[in-house]
Structure 1
């Protein structure tokens, strides 16, 4: 059972227990099933029957609930990605550390993006070719990070955390199918690790670009294309477009 389902069960059943303590404890309302007024006896029986019905119904729904869903459904921006990441983190599963890293990476990218644009606008006007070149690079880099994060979310969606946790708890037979299944799960984990590291590499390249921009008071379009950071970014964009 996944940690999310465990929390749902604990919270719901805890509420049922608290309600019945409030109703039947002498320290609170002190209702009883066979003594008291007709109204209090009716309320007591309705509470018991309602609790039993709710316990059976809701617990069965939680157990049967299919937790697999497409996390990327409806997302259109990096901010949407953060919202989804924040929704699925703290489940205590294998991806939590990388999810937190991706949230921080998106926020850092936004800060760097704004800082670079502010510095560029101090050096160039918004309609200059030099500004447009840098701005185009930033736009393409944002697309790469967005697609990268979407891929991470897709992998997390497809990952069966319950089966993986069960495999971690118990020793599976060393047959071909069990080993192949382990290898598949390891590929999911390795992909998310690699994609997260790629995001970090992109942020490092942005730092280099920011440093190079701050060194110059004026740059011609030809000079911009020769900047090492721009060359690295162009190569990154070219490779990303090849593997879309």
Structure 2
């Protein structure tokens, strides 16, 4: 395609030069006694040379620029509070959105408290420090995946224009259509409430982790491994390792 464009441009330049400079046509010549004709001929030749050089460089020696696709921000990069506020008045799930907003704020507080406790109880060079930090990070990522999944379902239900079924709709649509609408509504409800419930369980486990860590009698990472809450959190993460939204 690039070669064809170059050939077409060169043919165009050649044809213009033939028409303007050929004695049988316009007959403009650099040897003409007329200053105007001589200027036109010189200008045409110079411009033709510039066009040929530029086109050759442009189409032969430069690579085509690839289309740049703008990536949607990952959940780690998103401001979940701001994203959830967009759905604060969702026609189906305003209560769930309010609870999710509260969960996001509580997650920030609990993470800060756990990190403070981590710095108080353990040293950065201890195995327990890295073990504890890894668990906090994994739990936060799991929590964020749930929020991202919730946002996806809120957006999907909004695009689908789902709303509570009223009597007028029941009179207008067939029973089959109403069943399909009801089924779709139930599926979205199950997902949305599932994400919110899962994150509430995560927050409870973080509270338990905070409590159990304060009761540790030493900084031995083996004692950390044996804490019931630590084992429950690891099991939760393993069970949802391949969790999809």
1:171 shift after superposition = 3.6
What TM-score, normalized to structure 2?
Answer: 0.64
Which of 121, 126, 143 pairs up with 2:141? Answer: 143
SS in 2 for 1:127: coil
Counterpart in 2 of 1:83?
82
Aligned-partner Cα distance in 1 for 2:151–2:183: 20
**Is 2:195 the counterpart of 1:195?**
yes
CA contact (8 A) 2:92 2:164 kept: no
Aligned runs of 1:51-62 on 2, under 5 Å? Answer: none
SS in 2 for 1:167: coil
What TM-score, normalized to structure 1?
Answer: 0.65
1:75 shift after superposition = 4.9
**Is 2:180 the counterpart of 1:180?**
yes
Aligned-partner Cα distance in 1 for 2:194–2:202: 12
RCO higher in structure (CA 8 A, sep ≥6): 1
Deviation per residue, 1:86-119 (Å, 9 max, x gap): 122135x221111111111111111111111111
CA contact (8 A) 1:102 1:196 kept: yes
Which of 119, 122, 125 pairs up with 1:124? Answer: 122
CA contact (8 A) 1:75 1:81 kept: no
Aligned-partner Cα distance in 2 for 1:235–1:169: 46
1:218 shift after superposition = 1.6
Aligned runs of 1:1-244 on 2, under 5 Å? Answer: 73-77=72-76, 80-91=79-90, 93-160=91-158, 163-165=161-163, 167-168=165-166, 170-172=168-170, 173=173, 175-244=175-244
Unaligned 5+ runs, structure 2 = 1-70
Q: Kindly name which structure, 1 or 2, has the bigger radius of gyration based on alpha carbons.
A: 2
Aligned length: 172
CA contact (8 A) 2:92 2:162 kept: no
Unaligned 5+ runs, structure 1 = 1-71
Deviation per residue, 1:202-241 (Å, 9 max, x gap): 0000000000001124231221111101000100110110
